[in-house]
Structures are given as structure tokens and as C-alpha cells.
Amino acid sequence: MIIFGTRGYVRTLATLMLVCQRCGNPAAHRVLEKVTRFTLFFIPLFPVSTSRSVTCTFCGTTTPISTELAHHYATQARAFQPPLSQPHGPFSQPSPAQMSPAFPPPPRQ
């Protein structure tokens, strides 16, 4: 008895901030690659079909894109990715030398 079939895999290539074509909101968009592979005895052997799309995280609209555009978005996301060794963002902790009091200290009596 031979067991065969297909199985789908989804991989996120990039996450970018774009303006959605449908809802018009600036939101994060995921660039996804969906690959369907032929399986034999539950072992994926070779790809049967591949598609790429952009999904808006605000409204959920999915738009198919070309391979070249997907790779362009992926390289663009890697170019603007901050280094992992340095803290970044609004929740990063500043060093003690960078900290300044928000209000002046109360006067001493």
C-alpha cells in the first residue's frame, strides 16, 4: 500500500509597513510564500505549486504578487532591519548616562 498526497507550507518572507489598497490604512503587511509539495509516505519530495502574496494585518486583504516583487520586498525589509545587538524601539532601556529626570527634583528644606 502506497500512501501519497500533498501538503501545504507557508513561509513569511518579510513584514513591511505599507498603505493597504483596500482599506487605505497604513498597516503592517506580511509577504507570504505558499508552497504545495508532493508527499510519499508523509515525506515531502518536490514542490507542485508555489504562490506569493501580500496580506494586510489590519483588514486581512490578500493580494497575489509576482516572484520578483516578493523578493524585492524581502530585500527591502532586510535592509531596514535594525541590528539585534543594540536595543531599539520605544521599550528599550536607556543607559544610566542617557537618563534624565522628567521633572526637576523637589527643593530641599
8 A C-beta contact, residue 16 and residue 80: no
pTM across the whole model: 0.66
Domain parsing of the chain, residue ranges: 4-79
Q: What is the pLDDT of residues 79-88, one digit of tens each?
A: 776 655 555 5
pLDDT tens readout for residues 27-70: 999 999 999 999 998 889 999 999 999 999 999 999 999 999 99
**DSSP string across 44-83:** EEEEEEEEEEEEETTT--EEEE-HHHHHHHHHHHHHTPPP
Rounded Cα distance between 31 and 22, Å, is: 16
